[in-house]
Amino acid sequence: MQYRKNRHLQRLAGILEIPQDIVLDLPRITMLGNKQLLLENHKGIIEYTPSMVRIKLEQGELIISGNDLMLSNLQVEQILVEGTVGEVKYDT
């Protein structure tokens, strides 16, 4: 049921040319090389260590692993992760 609703919304967004992250409440990830990672639309932090950051999303979580990771900006809408990002993984 949820899956079908999402498919409809996605098609609607495609027809009306509305960005899909707004329609489907998806996170938007902007990366600057492997130095910075800006994540918008998150639901909080699950775990934080210098080698791994787990961030809760609407569906599932995002696992960022790397070295010397640092949360340099933390707000309701966005998280800025700085350091050396090695791997970004979705876990749904």
Partner 1 sequence: MIRNMFHYMNGTVKIKVSGTMPERFINLCIIKNIFLWGITKKNEGLFVCMSLSDFFRIRPIVRTSKNHIEVVNYYGFPFVIRKIKRRKMMVIGAILFLFVLNTLVSYIWFIDIVGVKSIPARQIRDLVYENGLRPGALKDDISIKSVENQIAATLPEVAWVGISFTGIHAVVEIVEKTISKPQDKASADIVATKDGIITEIIALAGQNLVKKGDTVKKGDLLIKGVGYEGAVVDSTISNLPPHRIRASGIIKARVWYESYGESELVTTIYERTGQQEIGVTLRVGQQEFQLKKVAVKPEKLVEVEVFNKKLSWWRNQDIVVESTISTYYELCAKNVEIGLEDAKEQSKAKAFTLLQSLIPETAHVLSRNIEVLQMPEENLVRVKVSVETVEDIGEVVNINKE
Which residues of the shown chain bind partner 1 in the complex (CB under 8 A)? Answer: 44-50, 70-76
Nearer to partner 1, 20 or 72 (CB): 72
Nearer to partner 1, 22 or 46 (CB): 46
Return the half-sphere exposure (C-beta side, CA atoms, 13 A cut-off) of residue 38. Answer: 8
Nearer to partner 1, 12 or 74 (CB): 74
Q: How far is the CB of 10 from partner 1 (least distance, A)?
A: 29
Q: How far is the CB of 40 from partner 1 (least distance, A)?
A: 13
Q: How far is the CB of 50 from partner 1 (least distance, A)?
A: 5
Inter-residue contact 62 to 55 (CB < 8 Å): yes
What is the residue whose two structure tokens read 């979580």?
A: 61
Inter-residue contact 2 to 9 (CB < 8 Å): no
CA dist., res. 35 & res. 44, Å (int): 21
